[in-house]
Amino acid sequence: MITGAASGIGAACARRLVQEGAFVYCADLDGDGARTVAGDAGTRSAVALRLDVTDESNWTAALETVHRGHPHLTALVHAAGISAASPLLQTSLDDWRRILAVNLDGAFLATKYGIADMAQHGGSIVLIGSASGIRPASGAAAYSTSKAGLAMLARAAAKECRTDGYPVRVNVVSPGGVKTSLWRSMPFFQDLVSEHGSEEAAFAALAGSGPAFANPEEIAEVVLFLLSPAAGQVTGVEIAADGGYVL
């Protein structure tokens, strides 16, 4: 199962896993987008699920759908999340709670239900964090805080799995800047496109003297590694796939 599968990193992960022979459940609040990605992947290899990651009843319903086709999950990639930027003093409590609900509560539910589904048979969970959760982003305290929490969630979950004898690994991949629709939809990015003449030039301007923006497919390769038997000894770890941004 891939959450946030309708676009960006989630969609790239879904397509890459289908290429590796997996049957993928493409889950997203954007049901139409999830269906498009699942259709692109092939109806024999993927199916779409509408999922609000903050709603516990949605998780139970999604897993009921999974169990109608497969006995249990073997992999869960939690890529669903939202971005927001406002100075701390201008961030309302409602905005703070909304960002943490999607980015941290959603990850908690993904981890909880993922482990419960894999506990008897084993599996791997990968949470998509952010380099902004390692190196704080100015003007994005809520976002940085929500992503920083994923590292501790993964470590705590991985330790509980080891203690309880569950053959489940839990890790985090934290990208830097990635070329996704989230960035492209931002008004200031459209201003940069107008100023510099193309999306690629706008991404280069955003990167400045730092690492270049990654393609979602590059992050999907790191996720694929963590899901694979090659990472059988890797758990409770946060991998910064950020071109050195946090250094």
Q: What is the pLDDT along the chain (247 residues), one digit of tens a residue?
A: 999 999 999 999 999 999 999 999 999 999 999 999 999 876 689 999 999 999 999 999 999 999 999 999 999 999 999 987 889 999 999 999 999 999 999 999 999 999 999 999 999 999 999 999 999 888 889 999 999 999 999 999 999 999 999 999 999 999 998 888 776 766 666 777 788 888 788 788 777 767 888 999 999 999 999 999 999 999 999 999 999 989 9
Burial of 167 (0-12, 13-18, 19+ CB in 10 A): middle
Tell me, what's the pLDDT at 185? 65
Radius of gyration of the chain (CA): 18
Residues noted as catalytic: 143
Predicted model pTM: 0.92
Ranges of each domain in the chain: 2-178+214-241, 180-213
Direct distance between the N- and C-terminal alpha carbons of the chain, in angstroms, rounded to an integer? 32
CATH T-level fold of 2-178+214-241: Rossmann fold (3.40.50)
User: DSSP code of 164?
Assistant: H
